[in-house]
A and B are shown apart, each in its own frame.
Chain A
């Protein structure tokens, strides 16, 4: 059944590419200097965060305007459980993404009742409410100071230890997210993105499906949040401020939100840009703005979207075979 496809069939070795990347990333840990290991860890964390956002944004077509709140809550949950409740790191590690998922469930129960832009606006409002609580509740969350010196197991305290831990968890998380996005759940999510009304007409409970998507995306954002604390050792309210949400949306757009690995690439570009342009000027967002404008004009499908060149409008390239 070799049917013509509108986008090129990937060759067999293409499937091995992520493994090659993983091996390269693992090997890099041996010779990269400390700073670059730290930078690579941040890229992986941001990449996982952006990929979890893209599950609902690019695949599900939801206006996920405040994804950072689940990331921040995951990070805070870990920090609070270890410092205030005295939980062992491993237990806090397992619990924190679940806290993020529960928040996603609670917020989702309210927000998925609305569609499109209204969904996004309500999510920003509720997310900002959560941010305000974290920002103001000095006695519990440390307010705008955040929490510093969050205990991390000794094995992960070194740059290399943290890097390998982040690499392993990110790889497993991305593999799971990949499975989810190619599962029937993911396929139907894409259907909802393209045409929610038709999805309902073929028997799909659109809101429940979107709610499940929220929970899964929230969980993995929480994983990214805990990874961040592992690398950084501290949490602060900016982790769940809405500007960070905007930044990860830009990562998805930049890398290509109709592709799976696009957001990871976008995250790498942004983190590198922020780090190196940030050395020369505090107005690094100015450069980001220019990059973004060029992107919108010349690469509307993002970097990976262009590489794959998957036509979205009329006039496909494969021959008419009637």
Chain B
């Protein structure tokens, strides 16, 4: 479904990503792990069109989408959430998700109909799925950090993606919120959604990932099953000193 080949991006001469390879098959849950500064977020930005790569290919469903603007990447069925919360802080929770649904339905140029009456059912269904229905009237900027992270995901779901990319979905969440998010992701995957995510919470990674890609200093160290990754000597070296995965 997604194949990343020799992807590279430098910032002012510093290679943030230099030779990343990644493969995501339909229906899989793939995790990207690596120490801080390994280039995970940059990799996601390159895949989803927030950044233009210097070199390499990003093949999504048979098409090279490297360098395509973000809105066109999204329209091809690839949605993402952000590590640092990126929501519409002056809109309500409901309006945040509804906006993504309206955008997917290409209703952005509809001028004479009130937005309030459109896409209600679908928006409500997403809010119920993620457990935000009780907060739907709240201004999103006033939510707790954990709830904003959930909203992050809900906005991405509003795009009804084929591939969902999550950048540290549980960072800053309470243990209960993390458990709920884990459950949600498993449920979404059961329904056929392909998920690519990066995470520092190793328990979560090993709990739901079918395969794991390890990044270190902008390069792919290995991509394999959890067992393969756990046993790999280079991975242990990359995490030098850090607690052994799991």
Task: List chain A positions with a Cβ less than 8 A from chain B.
Answer: 1, 3-7, 179-180, 182-188, 190-191, 193-195, 197-206, 209, 212, 216, 258, 310-316, 318, 321-322
Contact = CB atoms under 8 A, between A and B. Distances in A.
Contacts, number: 148
Among A195, A212, A311: residue with most chain B CB under 10 A = A195
A202 B110 contact: no
B107 A5 contact: no
Q: How many B residues are at the interface, by size bracket?
A: 35 or more
Given A3-B135, A4-B137, A315-B142, 5 more contacts: A1-B124, A183-B110, A183-B114, A184-B110, A202-B158
Contacts of B163: none
A238 B115 CA distance: 38
B216 interface: no
A52 to B, nearest CB: 14
B190 interface: no
Contacts of B124: 1
Given A191-B88, A198-B86, A202-B159, A182 B116 contact: yes
B91 interface: yes
A193 B95 CA distance: 14
Please give me the 7 A-B residue pairs with the lowest Cβ-Cβ distance, nearest first.
Answer: A3-B137, A316-B142, A203-B74, A6-B139, A5-B137, A194-B88, A200-B70
Contact of B104 (A194, A202, A206, A313): A202
B85 to A, nearest CB: 10
B92 A204 contact: no
A317 B90 CA distance: 15
Interface of B: 48-50, 69-71, 74-75, 79-80, 82, 86-92, 94-95, 98-100, 102-104, 107-116, 118, 124, 133-139, 141-142, 155-156, 158-159
A197 B95 CA distance: 17
6 contacts: A6-B92, A184-B110, A187-B91, A202-B100, A202-B155, A205-B108
Nearest to B152: A198
Contact of A202 (B99, B111, B138): B99
B88 A184 contact: no
Nearest to A180: B111
